């Protein structure tokens, strides 16, 4: 790891705008991008049961699942548009900024992501506030239909996701 004193301006900027665990943009990068250009559609995502995973299986497993989520977000972004940008804004929460895309295409993209990583829930909207409200609604709906564990419970589909994503 390079010392701060030895970093170039570009390296310092990269460090300031990148989540060190996942390698994608962090909250600061999201805020900086928002100041330059608004997105047409936003998605807010969270991972089911990260606390349970960290406490029960260890932080290395939780970190591996966060990395797998970021990797999947980046891998799938070229399906809809290279303008799609993902950020880890804290803990188990991610934000995706979609450019000038049709909402139906964004939902299809997010549904493919959830099919691959069923520990993810998402909400979509024309603002972060709307997307976050939709995330809360979808989380409750998934809990009521037994597709998502309640807070503090072992996540559903955990064994499949761990085996598939982190071997």
Active-site positions read: 92
| Phi, psi at 7, each rounded to 5° | -85, 145
163, with CB counted inside 10 A (0-12, 13-18, 19+), is exposed
CA–CA dist 97, 139 (Å, integer): 20
CA–CA dist 79, 107 (Å, integer): 13
Nearest alpha carbon to residue 122 among 164, 72, 57: 72
Helix/strand/coil for 127: coil
Helix/strand/coil for 89: strand
Helix/strand/coil for 130: helix
């Amino acid at each position: 790891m390079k010392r701060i004193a030895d970093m170039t301006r570009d390296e310092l900027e990269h460090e300031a705008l990148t989540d060190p665990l996942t390698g994608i943009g962090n909250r600061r990068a999201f805020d900086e991008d928002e100041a330059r250009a608004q997105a047409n559609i936003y998605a807010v995502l969270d991972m089911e049961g990260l606390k349970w995973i960290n406490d029960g299986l260890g932080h290395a497993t939780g970190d591996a699942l966060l990395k797998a989520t970021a990797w999947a977000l980046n891998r799938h972004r070229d399906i809809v548009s290279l303008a799609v940008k993902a950020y880890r804004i804290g803990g188990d929460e991610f934000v995706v900024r979609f450019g000038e895309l049709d909402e139906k295409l964004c939902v299809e993209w997010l549904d493919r992501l959830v099919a691959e990583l069923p520990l993810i829930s998402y909400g979509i909207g024309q603002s972060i506030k709307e997307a976050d409200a939709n995330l809360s609604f979808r989380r409750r709906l998934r809990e009521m239909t037994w597709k998502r564990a309640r807070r503090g419970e072992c996540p559903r589909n955990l064994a499949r996701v761990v085996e598939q994503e982190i071997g």
